[in-house]
Structure 1
Amino acid sequence: MPEKARTFKSIGKEKADLRKIGSDTKMLDTNSEDAISLLPEEVLGKILSLIPTKQAASTSVLSEKWRNLFTLVHNNDFDDSDLLRPEEGKEERDVVRESFRNFVDRTLALQCGSPIKKFSLKCHLHLDSEMSYVGPWISNAVGRGVLELDLSIHTRYKFVQDSETGCSRWPQGMKRRGDVFLPSELFTCKTLVTLRLGKHIFLGEFPLELSLPALKSLFIDSICFAYKDLSDVFFPGCPVLEELVLRYEDYHISSRTIKRLLVLYDDSACVFKSYMSLDAPNLLFLDYCHYPMSVYPHVNLASLVEARLDIQYSTNMDDVPDITGLIVGISNVKTLHLSPGSVDLIFRCVKYGLLGLKINRKVGLLLPVFNNLVSLSFGSKNETDWKLLPYLIEQSPKLESLTIQGLDSYTCDSTMHLFQVKVLRVLGYGGTAKESEHLKKFIGESECLEVVLVDDVM
């Protein structure tokens, strides 16, 4: 399942600044001692912040002026993965790891505690004792008022699958607290706006005094911590948290501040025996890119405006999971995107009566009414799943825009009654005779249909 790309407003401004720098440089006398060195120190500091930290640090050997300029660098990006490839010989790898540690130590020492905006650290730990190096680096960034912190710490330990629950847990008998012990000051940082935590590490219990008053965006990737600590300890300490991205299991999410939620996971063997509760009454946007949980006992998304469901049904699952709680919980959305996988799973639930509806209408209770739904995207890869669409349309009295994907698999005998739909958009339409025939059958004589948009780009 694809990761979602993210943009930052600052990128455009930085590119504009660099264009201006290039223009100003042309006006400098190139016959003088050094055209670049004549640029203002503030501009040079910004240039150094835009290039890899290793290259920026190397300029400090040019002269005393450049050594002082390095203190103006406000972005640090340390990654040992390139250094550790290829992994040939334990002794050589140990030397490389020590070299990396020395480089980080020297770089932070050169900056002399100057303010920092972003600190990114990606490293591999093979010994518990190596965490003694990482902790001070993180503390250094926190002490310098870091705004964005990206930590991806890979340990040599892998989560194992619990035989009873099917979910991941820390290896039996392995020390947990102390293996990856993040400094306590990280959880009381007053400047932190964005925090990314990963990967395959156990954090133990969050400190009860956790307080991140400026944190707006939180990304958690394959982190293990005490049960319910996320909702009971972490979220209450983040009063302005708005964006949450999770790659985790056994979800219990409760927050009154988050507005955007992205859920990612790719372990079908585990999640089917897990559950998810969502209590986020002010959530506006949900992106669920996941295998289905076994049950959704509590879903409160009262303010939800847009939802994207990309749920993948796995043949490894013994039974059809019950997603009733999730579907009912998102039924107040205005915009709904259903991938082919999601449509297939919903149809399976309908087929087996989990959503209270039988396709043959022997059960009177229908899908939940989508009273606010204005725009629906519906994808299908097989003939059978198209039978779900008429019921979705019927249960959406305000639906105006419909986007469909996979028209070549639509072979329903009867015309689709589009009721009040005004705009139809077809994705992946190649214009073949077969697709043209299916499109005519799909539209029929719908009088309310004002526009048909055909798009040959997937």
Structure 2
Amino acid sequence: ALLRKTLVVSVCMDTKKLSTGSRDAISCLPHEVLGVILSSVPTKLAASTSLLSKKWRNVFALVHNLDFDDSDLLQPEEGEEEMGVMRESFRNFVDTTLALQCGSPIKRFSLKCHIHDYYSESAHLVRWVCNALDRGVLDLSLETSVQALIPSELFTSKTLVKLRLGTQVTVEVFPPEASLPALKILIFESVLIRPDDMCNVLLPGCPVLEELYLYYDGFEGWPYRITSQTIKRLVVQYDEFEIESMSFMSIDAPNLLFLDYSHYALYDYPLVNLASLVEARLDIQYSKRVVRPDITGLINGISNVETLHLSPDSVDVISLCVGRGLLLPVFNNLVSLTFGSKNEKGWKLLPYLIEQSPKLETLIIQVIYHYYTGDVTMRTFQVKVLRVLGYEGTAKELEHFKFFIGESECLEVVIVEAAEAVVLLLVTLLGFSVSSKCKISCSLSITICRTSVKSSYFSLNG
């Protein structure tokens, strides 16, 4: 995208150097260059250039990115009759735009539409998607407002590299010959499918798939079995919907490098094969609908990880399961741990987890001072880098902070992220009696309008 923007700017600047015998200097540019320019602007604007002349109609055929979104036309305050007119206008616009391109190849096709009449409007959607597939589309994104069927041809494309199916799309039956030989990125957002179809039909037909994203929020049909020998990145975000009927999860991905798993704790994780895992982010919550969850399979399955991020909810669930008999595995490769808890019991898990992580070097503490009571017995541990998030400058925080530092003989660097208002209080940390190798630093981040504008650092070599 940055390259396209740079090209557009450069072209616009260069047109000033052209002979101005004609006031329309940009028309002198090669068709291929004009096609790149039009591919970088909204499709509606690009399509309007076809009205200028026959030449511009030919240029528009070279546009390789198409983005259609009817939300630009439909407004909630409009009446039913006006909405119907707008829907018809949108359909005509898409049909006309596709016709103007005369079947030329495209790289990206994005369609976001609000389906009103399931039977009649689904036919338009199928026709548009098939048009893009026939033209060798590489990146296809589809999102609808209600359940809408999609053509089976979508799952036999030889050219698709990235496929995103958005909310409410329905796949009643995958074609048995499903094959996406070029697909590397697959994104499902509340897509209605038969759960076994993901494992048994779709994924086996994606021999080079590298990234899989599954988002389900208040929608049935989330896949509970994921099997792939090729994926390297997996993101799973599910809610409580259907948790009683599908209360287990299996992930067989021996070459996976990154896992982001957000869900409610389930009754069982019968197969979790993540032998190559490098980084894992767990956000597991407790649901009253699963009274006695068993996360043994999940925790054992990620025990090869090098970097582990545990949300406060995850810590509390793991702590609950440990209290019911869960034995933590040894994390032989773990070097970086992010840890926090929303209750006192959760903090009692930290010493156990550190003990099971013989190579741990970096400990990141979050949400500590509101719930940590300081009565957790910590054995001297081997952490070299301690990072504290959300420091607020209270006396209780300082007391607990001293406790953490005092329990590590190997500590070399302490990083505290705090608001600007507490920086003077943090200077007192420089007087701590710690290892001569220890460098204590305070990192300040001032955020204005969600944009970081300033960073300050204090450091002292002991």
Mark yes or no: TM-score above 0.5: yes
Q: In structure 2, which of residues 223, 228, 243 is the aligned counterpart of residue 271 of structure 1? A: 243
Structure 1 counterpart SS, 2:186: strand
Matches within 5 A, 1:98-117: 98-117=88-107
Aligned to 1:259: 232
Give CA-to-partner distance per residue, 1:64-123, whole Å, 9 cap, x none.
Answer: 121111111100111112322225322222211111111100000001111100000111
Q: 2:153 & 2:375 partners in 1: Cα distance?
A: 65
Task: Tell whether 2:190 aligns with 1:222.
Answer: yes
Structure 2 counterpart SS, 1:426: strand
Structure 1 counterpart SS, 2:260: strand
1:250–1:146: structure 2 CA closer, same or farther, 3 Å change rule?
Answer: closer
Q: In structure 2, which of residues 348, 368, 384 is the aligned counterpart of residue 387 of structure 1? A: 348
1:300–1:445: structure 2 CA closer, same or farther, 3 Å change rule?
Answer: closer
Matches within 5 A, 1:7-46: 11-30=1-20, 32-46=22-36
Task: Tell whether 2:400 aligns with 1:400.
Answer: no
Matched residue type, 2:2: G
Most deviating of 62-71 and 85-94: 85-94
Give CA-to-partner distance per residue, 1:30-75, whole Å, 9 cap, x none.
Answer: 5632122223322221111111111111111111121111111100
Aligned length: 412
Structure 2 counterpart SS, 1:288: strand
Task: Tell whether 2:320 aligns with 1:348.
Answer: yes
Structure 2 counterpart SS, 1:271: coil
CA contact (8 A) 1:273 1:293 kept: no
Per the TM alignment, residue 219 of structure 1 is displaced from its structure 2 partner at its CA by 0.4
Per the TM alignment, residue 327 of structure 1 is displaced from its structure 2 partner at its CA by 1.0
Aligned to 2:408: 446
CA contact (8 A) 2:351 2:377 kept: no
Q: 1:327 & 1:289 partners in 2: Cα distance?
A: 14
Structure 2 counterpart SS, 1:32: coil
Structure 2 counterpart SS, 1:69: helix
Aligned to 2:306: 334
1:452–1:272: structure 2 CA closer, same or farther, 3 Å change rule?
Answer: farther
Task: Tell whether 2:130 aligns with 1:130.
Answer: no
Matches within 5 A, 1:351-390: 351-353=323-325, 355=326, 366-390=327-351
Matched residue type, 1:90: E
Percent of pairs with identical residues: 66
Matched residue type, 2:190: S
Most deviating of 407-416 and 48-57: 407-416
Q: In structure 2, which of residues 372, 392, 397 is the aligned counterpart of residue 430 of structure 1? A: 392
Q: 1:370 & 1:131 partners in 2: Cα distance?
A: 51
Matched residue type, 1:450: E
1:87–1:277: structure 2 CA closer, same or farther, 3 Å change rule?
Answer: farther
Q: In structure 1, which of residues 282, 285, 289 is the aligned counterpart of residue 262 of structure 2? A: 289
Q: 2:274 & 2:307 partners in 1: Cα distance?
A: 14
CA contact (8 A) 1:310 1:338 kept: yes
TM-score (norm 2): 0.85
Give CA-to-partner distance per residue, 1:301-332, whole Å, 9 cap, x none.
Answer: 11111100122334x43624222211111111
1:143–1:273: structure 2 CA closer, same or farther, 3 Å change rule?
Answer: same
Per the TM alignment, residue 445 of structure 1 is displaced from its structure 2 partner at its CA by 4.4
Matched residue type, 1:348: L
Structure 1 counterpart SS, 2:33: helix
Task: Tell whether 2:64 aligns with 1:74.
Answer: yes
Q: 1:329 & 1:450 partners in 2: Cα distance?
A: 31
Matched residue type, 1:55: L
Matched residue type, 1:379: G
Aligned to 1:455: 417
Per the TM alignment, residue 136 of structure 1 is displaced from its structure 2 partner at its CA by 1.4
Q: In structure 2, which of residues 38, 43, 53 is the aligned counterpart of residue 48 of structure 1? A: 38
CA contact (8 A) 2:163 2:186 kept: yes
Matches within 5 A, 1:300-311: 300-311=273-284
CA contact (8 A) 2:265 2:290 kept: no
Aligned to 2:133: 142
Most deviating of 272-281 and 104-113: 272-281
Runs of 4+ in structure 1 deviating by more than 4 angstroms, as ranges, are none
1:431–1:18: structure 2 CA closer, same or farther, 3 Å change rule?
Answer: farther
TM-score (norm 1): 0.85
CA contact (8 A) 1:206 1:233 kept: yes
Aligned to 1:154: 145
Higher relative contact order (CA 8 A, sep 6+): 1
CA contact (8 A) 2:195 2:224 kept: no
Task: Tell whether 2:272 aligns with 1:299.
Answer: yes
Give CA-to-partner distance per residue, 1:169-200, whole Å, 9 cap, x none.
Answer: xxxxxxxxxxx442232222111000011222
Q: In structure 2, which of residues 183, 201, 224 is the aligned counterpart of residue 233 of structure 1? A: 201
CA contact (8 A) 2:229 2:255 kept: yes
Per the TM alignment, residue 351 of structure 1 is displaced from its structure 2 partner at its CA by 2.2
